[in-house]
Amino acid sequence: MEIILSECFSCCKECGVLPPNLDLRSISSLKLKCSTCCFEVFVDELTRVGHAHALNVELLSLDISNSDFTKYIKNSAFIHLLRSCPKLCELDISLKSLKLNPEDFVLMEDLSSVARTLKMLCTLKFCRLKGLESEMQSIKVFLACFLGIEEVIDHSSTLDSLG
């Protein structure tokens, strides 16, 4: 299932991003394309409507955009989404708006805790990497916490050469 959310934070906050009768528990593949603010609203709604810890997602693809380059996804929202997907095998992610700092002790503890429950996660795919220090730090954090990762794929050069 692909969910594309509006870029407008006020619209997301007022109207929500999920239809009230949508049952995501049977979805095995979820591609979420949205802005940073809508991502956080989406995760909040998962908790509110009772989907947290109940998703059967095996493939999670996150394409989170942001026009304000100083705003990053809240690490707590990202970790909460990972916790909601105990059957996750593959995580495809664009690191444009995710900043994981290995010096953040709470983050490392939370990610390590999630990693112990995500035993099936073995593949990480990254898109649109530019080689920034923050991106490299985030990849190092993933690899330090998720010791079961067997394959890391960088689609950045392939996508860049395609246009």
Between β-strands 59-65 and 2-4, what pairing exists: parallel, antiparallel or unpaired? unpaired
What's the whole-number average pLDDT of the chain? 77
Report yes or no on whether pTM surpasses 0.85.
no
Averaged pLDDT, 101-129: 88
- Give per-residue pLDDT as tens, 44-101: 877 775 555 578 899 999 888 765 555 667 788 889 899 989 999 999 988 666 777 7
Label residue 6 by pLDDT band (50, 70, 90): low
Phi, psi of 54 (to 5 degrees): -125, 0
Half-sphere exposure of 117 (CA within 13 A, CB side): 15
Say if residue 52 is exposed, middle or buried (CB neighbours under 10 Å; 0-12, 13-18, 19+): middle
